[in-house]
Structure 1
Amino acid sequence: MRLFTIGFTQSSAAHFFGRLKEAGVTRLIDVRLNRRSQLAGFAKEGDLAWFARELCGIETEHALALAPTPALLGAYRAGEVDWPEYAARFKRLIARRRIETQLDRARLDGACLLCSEALPHHCHRRVVAEYLRETWGKVEVVDL
């Protein structure tokens, strides 16, 4: 199984959708808590779905169970918790949610987890991908 991850900040629309298309992504799974911000540009809720479908033939879906809580995200953004603590708390949260039992593994093969962070190193999409690899086994995680 191959699971992609991607962020949209610091990327043009052409580069972003080009990476999805070139990789052969089959489904775009939005794992953001807030998808309506004007700062999201082409990745705003309705625009993202239209662009992905029209430019790449990819359907999108929102998976709120794969997003942090407002309180957890707020604490991280405010500097109240550092990255290692945030990642550990988020991993415990998705384990409590039992996301591995809520997701269809076959539908995720070739899918791409989307959030805003340009790089995956300090992003919750990477925590989700690694958690699924740990619980499901044999998941290749590819950061676009």
Structure 2
Amino acid sequence: MDVATIGFTRKSAETFFGLLRKAEVRTLLDVRLNNVSQLAGFAKKPDLKYFLSELLGARFIELRDLAPEKEMLKRYQKKELSWESYAAEYLELLATRRVETKLDIALFDKGCLLCSEDKPHHCHRRLAVEYLNSQWDNRLKVTHLF
């Protein structure tokens, strides 16, 4: 089952939607804590729904269970938490939420997890897809688009 991840930061709309088109994404899975910020540009929830539908014929789904908690994210952004500590707390949060039992794996087939970070290295979207893959017997073939 093919699944991708993508961040919108440092990408033009042309690059962003081009990457999604090339990966044949059918569903964009939004795992952001805040998807209506003015800083999101073309990736604001209402605009993104429209662009996905019109340009790619793709769906938009929010997966709030995969978003980090607000305070956890703030502590990481303020450098009160190292990446390693943030990652550990986030993975613990996913386990506590039991996300693997609440989500339908079929959503991830030709799906793409969206967050803001331009690269997946230090982003919770990578942690989320790796966590789910470990719980779902490595049935996801993951590609990071950047």
Per the alignment, in what secondary structure is the counterpart of residue 118 of structure 2?
coil
What residue ranges of structure 2 are gaps of 5+ in the alignment? none
Coordinate RMSD, CA, aligned: 0.7
SS across alignment from 1:93 = helix
Amino acid across the alignment from 1:23: A
Q: Report the equivalent of 2:36.
A: 36
Match status 1:139 vs 2:118: no
**2:72 corresponds to 1:72:** yes
Tell me the TM-score normalized by structure 1. Answer: 0.98
- Superimposed CA distance per residue, residues 67-101 of structure 1 (whole angstroms, 9 cap, x where no aligned partner): 00001001100110010110110000011111111
Q: Match of 1:124?
A: 124
Deviation, 1:59, is: 0.6
Unmatched tracts of structure 1, length 5 or more = none
2:92 alignment counterpart: 92
Alignment of 1:106-125 (within 5 A): 106-125=106-125
User: By how many angstroms is 1:63 displaced?
Assistant: 0.9
Percent identity of equivalent pairs: 51
Q: Please state whether the residue corresponding to 2:29 is helix, strand or coil.
A: strand
Shift >6 Å, 4+ stretches: none
Give TM-score scaled by structure 2 length.
0.96
> 1:42-79 deviations in whole A, cap 9, x for unaligned?
00110011011101111101111000000100110011
Q: Which amino acid aligns with 2:102?
A: Q
Mapped to 2, the partners of 1:140 and 1:47 lie a distance apart of: 28
Does the alignment pair 1:4 with 2:4? Answer: yes
